[in-house]
Amino acid sequence: MIGVYDSGFGGLGVLRHLRTALPKRDFCYLGDSGRAPYGGRDPHTLLDFGEQCVEQLFDEGCRVVVVACNTMSCIALRHLQQRYAGPGSDKRVLGVTIPGAEAAVRASRGHIGVIATARTVASGTYVEEIRKLGPHRVTQRATALLAPIVEEGWEDTDVARLAVKRYLDELLADGTIDTLLLGCTHYPMLEPAIAAAAPGLTLVDPAPYLAEQLVAWLVRHPAFDHEGAGVLRVLCTGDPLAFARHGARFLGEPLPVVVHVGEHTHAPLGQIVR
């Protein structure tokens, strides 16, 4: 079984691409909706949350966990890999940032814009990963209002269009950005508003590229690849009924029965320096 972890609903859009690419695999999704949003959290707290949620998925029987949340991938992925997937471990933790950076570099002619949460932007992770791949210029913008707008289901409203336009007018002011990396799992829901505000800009959603990378990774690591029956199990730390209702928008189909799990499944251990 493959685990997918996100701060809330947004990662269900990532899961949709993963299940399309791997229809015979079983997945267990954990949305930490009881503690979302993550974008304004301090790194110490995010490391605690990451440990707790990844351990929950391991307890559910997952040997591979995909961290779909951009904020968590930027802040905690390396720590989670060192803690749980080191030499001799039979578990692996994968993230979204490198596939996203690779896709943006392939699409860009030279100047990449990144919109994301404040914590993702402050981490500098996308800037670092993109610069490893080429001489591209990178300009970031924290867009704190966009994820809550999507959470409310307002992506097709004037509120969403005005917020997107205000953020992009600032980001694109010098006219040289040719590619925009959507650095939050909620933002693909805003693609029509983004495309209207910035016609001609290439938009990069990391999710389909993450799915491609996972397929290739499983080919290279067959010990972690087990065919199943396409079963989907969904867990959340918030209200399961609300999660099922809102989550269907992201997954593109009704969710199975959503199971509530405790927000503090393990004792908090997180510190920036272990």
- 98-204: in CATH 3.30.70.980: no
Closest of 183, 207, 203, 181 to residue 193, by C-alpha? 203
pLDDT at 263: 60
Closest of 94, 112, 93 to residue 102, by C-alpha? 112
Greatest alpha-carbon pair distance for the chain in Å reads 53
Does pLDDT of 35 surpass 60? yes
- pTM summary value: 0.93
Which sign does the torsion angle of CA 42, 185, 211, 181 carry?
negative
Contact 62, 28 (CB under 8 A): yes
pLDDT at 86: 87
| Rg value, the chain, Cα | 18
Q: What 3 state SS string does 179-201 have?
A: EEEEECCCHHHHHHHHHHHCCCC
Give the C-alpha separation, 47 to 37, whole Å: 14
Give the C-alpha separation, 177 to 41, whole Å: 29
Is residue 28 flagged as an active site residue? Answer: no
Under the banding of pLDDT at 50, 70 and 90, the label for residue 262 is: confident
Lookup result for tokens 């996203």: 100
The single-letter code of the amino acid at 24 is K
Is residue 62 flagged as an active site residue? Answer: no
Residues 6+ apart with CB under 8 A from 21: 211, 212, 214, 215
Ranges 9-13, 70-74, 259-263: which has the least confidence: 259-263
- 2-96+208-260: in CATH 2.60.120.10: no
Residue spans in the chain of domains classed CATH 3.40.50.1860? 2-96+208-260, 98-204
The single-letter code of the amino acid at 166 is R
Of 53, 62, 74, 184, the active-site residue reads 184
Number of C-beta neighbours around residue 43 at 10 A: 18
Give the C-alpha separation, 152 to 142, whole Å: 19
Of 62, 69, 74, 236, the active-site residue reads 69
pLDDT at 223: 94
pLDDT in tens, 219-245: 999 999 999 999 999 999 999 999 999
pLDDT at 274: 36
pLDDT at 244: 96
Alpha helix segments (H runs only) across the chain = 11-21, 43-59, 70-84, 97-107, 118-123, 125-133, 146-151, 158-171, 191-197, 206-220, 240-251
Q: Burial code of 227-238, b = ≥16 C-beta within 10 A, e = fewer?
A: eeeeebbbbbbb
pLDDT in tens, 1-29: 999 999 999 999 999 999 999 999 999 99
Percent of the chain with pLDDT over 90: 92
Give the C-alpha separation, 124 to 116, whole Å: 11
Closest of 90, 116, 88 to residue 101, by C-alpha? 116
Lookup result for tokens 């790194």: 43
Residue 148 token pair: 């809550």
